[in-house]
């Protein structure tokens, strides 16, 4: 079991890590130790959010450690921050819910269907807490870390787009209502997850819960790095919305010569992607496509790059974006007033695409159906309704500033650290 192997890994690194940490972390007044945790989810959006937080806390003189599920990119992007592997469960296909629709389904796939797996994961987190001794734990999509902290003397902060911060309601909302889900199956999964959650809480000597969502209300702060219109849970009510923050390092866009509108493409390979790129090239529109793991190429007015691009500069210079609908990318584009053709490939991205479409600034198409995607492109090129709605969104948040949003988050994190005596923003 992975959790057991992780525990052994932590035991193996403790001797050298303790020495390294002690050398790096001699106690100074006004300093605190922050553990930033990223447990679930793919892509680089989580690191894009955590990198500026880590940099900002270090700039303010604090110690920072990162626990990440993707150590290769974490170490590459945070070379000055000690990085540890986050304990995760690798689900086996027969026990996996292939199309998770509620947050309970996600927890089930993360190992919350089995008492022994959950105990192993919690024990691994406890080993890390012993090693790092954090005063504040900041969690980006890290539900098992939160579970492990229920009897731990550290302040707890949730940080994320809202997807990993479900509201305290029961049953948990169905994030994919367009699917043919069976309410009884969803509720049965939630009941099973709650039973294993409570068994683990009982083992920790912590109070058990009536609802899964209560766990995520047991935090000291829940900082939502999104806007109310893009929240995955519109039924949340009042939330502490801070707006989108952070971006990974990227190159300046080098637009190929071609006709306007300029089109930015950020898609994983698919049938619709191939058809759209061919059509954009046929129309001789200036098109810049970021496609990771694809070969860089230039085909007339179409330029394909496998190197990350600076999203802020892309958002300020493109006229239309065609994306898979990752939250951070969509939020950045909308703040800049850019319309979006969305081709989601997951339930979470489908929710983001639906929210952007509800604003009026996006149109959704099927990622595997060119006969759906091509007419959607035609509609967006002919109809400026989407662009006007995107501009309205941009005007609403004209005063939003990414750097200022980050500073308010850093202020709030410092306010959680014992003894610093700073006020939250």
Query: Can you give the residue range of the structural domain that contains 322?
Result: 259-396
pLDDT given at position 17: 52
Burial 379-404 (b: 16+ CB within 10 A, else e): ebbeeeebbebbbebbeebeeeebee
Give 207-231 pLDDT, tens digit per residue: 999 999 999 999 999 999 999 999 9
- Evaluate whether 353 touches 362 at the Cβ level (below 8 Å): yes
Output the CA torsion sign for 372, 377, 383, 389: positive
Give 42-70 pLDDT, tens digit per residue: 878 899 999 999 999 999 999 999 999 99
Considering the domain architecture, whether residues 379 and 407 belong to the same structural domain is answered as: no
CATH number at residue 48: 3.40.50.2000
Contacts of 84 (CB under 8 A, 6+ apart): 10, 13, 17, 65, 66, 67, 68, 128, 131, 132
pLDDT given at position 19: 44
pLDDT given at position 300: 95
pLDDT given at position 177: 85
Q: Encoding tokens for residue 35?
A: 């553990």
Give 83-120 pLDDT, tens digit per residue: 999 999 987 767 789 889 999 999 999 999 999 999 99
Considering the domain architecture, whether residues 208 and 311 belong to the same structural domain is answered as: no
Give percent above pLDDT 70 in the chain.
91
Q: Which residue has the higher pLDDT, 29 or 3?
A: 29
Give percent above pLDDT 90 in the chain.
80
Give 304-347 pLDDT, tens digit per residue: 999 989 999 999 999 999 999 999 999 999 999 999 999 999 88
| Structural domain contains residue 423 | no
Q: For residue 368, how many other CB atoms are within 10 A of its CB?
A: 13
Average pLDDT over residues 388-408: 97
Considering the domain architecture, whether residues 217 and 281 belong to the same structural domain is answered as: no
Considering the domain architecture, whether residues 411 and 378 belong to the same structural domain is answered as: no
- The backbone torsions φ and ψ at residue 39, rounded to the nearest 5 degrees and listed phi first, read -110, -50
Considering the domain architecture, whether residues 234 and 286 belong to the same structural domain is answered as: no
176 has a pLDDT exceeding 90 = no
pLDDT given at position 254: 95
Burial 160-196 (b: 16+ CB within 10 A, else e): bbbbbbbbbebbbbebbeeeeeeeeebeebbebbbeb
Considering the domain architecture, whether residues 231 and 263 belong to the same structural domain is answered as: no
């Amino acid at each position: 079991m992975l959790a057991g192997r992780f525990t052994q890994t932590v035991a193996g690194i403790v001797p050298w890590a303790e020495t390294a940490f002690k050398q790096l972390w001699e106690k100074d007044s006004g300093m605190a130790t922050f553990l930033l945790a990223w447990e679930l989810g793919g892509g680089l959006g989580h690191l894009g959010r955590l990198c500026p937080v880590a940099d900002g806390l270090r700039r303010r003189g604090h110690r920072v450690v990162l626990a990440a599920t993707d150590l290769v990119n974490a170490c590459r992007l945070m070379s000055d921050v000690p990085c540890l592997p986050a304990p995760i469960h690798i689900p086996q296909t027969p026990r996996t819910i292939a199309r998770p629709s509620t947050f309970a389904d996600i927890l089930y796939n993360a190992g919350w269907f089995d008492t022994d797996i959950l105990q192993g994961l919690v024990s691994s987190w406890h080993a890390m807490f012993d090693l790092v001794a954090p005063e504040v734990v900041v969690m980006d999509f890290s539900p098992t870390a939160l579970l492990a902290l229920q009897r731990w003397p550290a302040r707890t902060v949730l940080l994320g787009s809202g997807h990993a911060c479900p509201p305290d309601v029961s049953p948990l909302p169905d994030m994919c209502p367009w699917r043919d889900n069976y309410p009884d199956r969803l509720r049965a999964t939630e009941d099973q997850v709650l039973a294993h959650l409570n068994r683990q809480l009982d083992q920790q000597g912590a109070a058990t819960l009536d609802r899964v969502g209560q766990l995520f209300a047991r935090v000291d702060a829940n900082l939502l790095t999104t806007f109310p219109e893009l929240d995955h849970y519109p039924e949340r009510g009042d939330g502490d919305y801070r707006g989108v923050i952070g971006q990974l390092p990227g190159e300046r866009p080098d637009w190929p010569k071609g006709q306007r509108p300029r089109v930015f493409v950020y898609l994983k390979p698919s049938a619709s992607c191939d058809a759209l790129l061919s059509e954009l090239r046929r129309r001789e529109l200036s098109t810049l496509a970021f496609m990771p793991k694809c070969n860089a190429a230039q085909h007339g007015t179409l330029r394909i790059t496998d190197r990350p691009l600076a999203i802020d500069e892309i958002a300020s210079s493109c006229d239309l974006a065609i994306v898979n609908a990752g939250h951070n990318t969509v939020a950045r584009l909308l703040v800049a007033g850019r319309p979006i053709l969305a081709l989601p490939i997951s339930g979470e991205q489908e929710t983001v695409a639906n929210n952007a479409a509800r604003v009026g600034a996006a149109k959704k198409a099927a990622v595997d159906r060119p006969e759906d995607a091509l007419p959607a492109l035609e509609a967006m090129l002919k109809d400026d309704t989407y662009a006007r709605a995107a501009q309205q969104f941009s005007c609403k948040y004209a005063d939003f500033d990414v750097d200022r949003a980050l500073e308010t988050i850093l202020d709030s994190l410092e306010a959680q650290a014992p003894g610093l005596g700073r006020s939250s923003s």
